[in-house]
């Protein structure tokens, strides 16, 4: 029992470190990018990058909402709001789609840059998903074969 409590505490500490070192800098960078891209300029990738940055901002809002629900619900995503899930899903889809566009064009476009900046956010998101999936097994709340 004591070991599982320690592991749960270490998992929460690791998640907080991931948020501090990965998610907060990316969120600040996205906000700064929005401020810069909202200023009119003649760069050819301005509009696609602005759209990507706005979509990334929606994904980041969903991610932070999901993270708050995860921490407040006792380190599980069960019962988290559907809006947070959709927002985080938009961010993940944008990240993967923009990386695919970058691979297809073979050059670093504004969309590919948005995808590269989204990669660090996938680490704490994957951590939360793994913690949620492993929670019933670790807590012993999953039904055994004899209980069915």
Largest interatomic CA distance in the chain: 68
Q: What percent of the chain has pLDDT over 70?
A: 85
pLDDT, averaged across the chain: 83
Question: Which range, 4-13, 38-47, 119-128, is most confident?
Answer: 119-128
Torsion of CA 19, 21, 23, 27, to 10 degrees: 130
Closest CA to 107 of 44, 58, 55: 44
pTM score, whole prediction: 0.79
DSSP 1: -
Mean pLDDT on 104-127: 85
DSSP string, 72-128: HTTS--TT--HHHHHHHHHHHHHHHHHHHHHHHHTS--HHHHHHHHHHHHHHHHHHH
Read off the pLDDT of residues 58-78 as tens digits, 9 standing for 90 and up. 999 999 999 999 989 888 888
Does the pLDDT of residue 137 top 80, yes or no? no
DSSP 41: -
Cβ pair 60, 118 in contact under 8 A: no
* Helix 46-72 with 2-18: angle, nearest 10 deg: 160
Q: Where are the domains of the chain?
A: 8-138
pLDDT, residue 133, reads 81
Cβ pair 141, 28 in contact under 8 A: no
């Amino acid at each position: 029992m004591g070991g599982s409590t320690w592991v749960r505490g270490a998992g929460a500490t690791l998640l907080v470190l991931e948020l501090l070192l990965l998610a907060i800098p990316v969120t600040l960078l996205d906000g700064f990018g929005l401020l810069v891209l909202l200023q009119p300029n003649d760069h050819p990738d301005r509009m696609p990058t602005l759209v990507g940055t706005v979509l990334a901002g929606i994904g980041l809002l969903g991610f932070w909402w999901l993270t708050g629900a995860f921490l407040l619900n006792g380190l599980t995503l069960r019962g988290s709001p559907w809006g947070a899930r959709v927002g985080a899903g938009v961010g993940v889809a944008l990240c993967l789609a923009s990386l695919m566009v970058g691979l297809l064009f073979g050059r670093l476009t504004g969309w590919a840059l948005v995808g590269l900046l989204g990669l660090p956010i996938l680490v704490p998101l994957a951590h939360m998903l793994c913690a949620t999936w492993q929670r019933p097994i670790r807590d012993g709340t999953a039904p055994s074969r004899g209980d069915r």
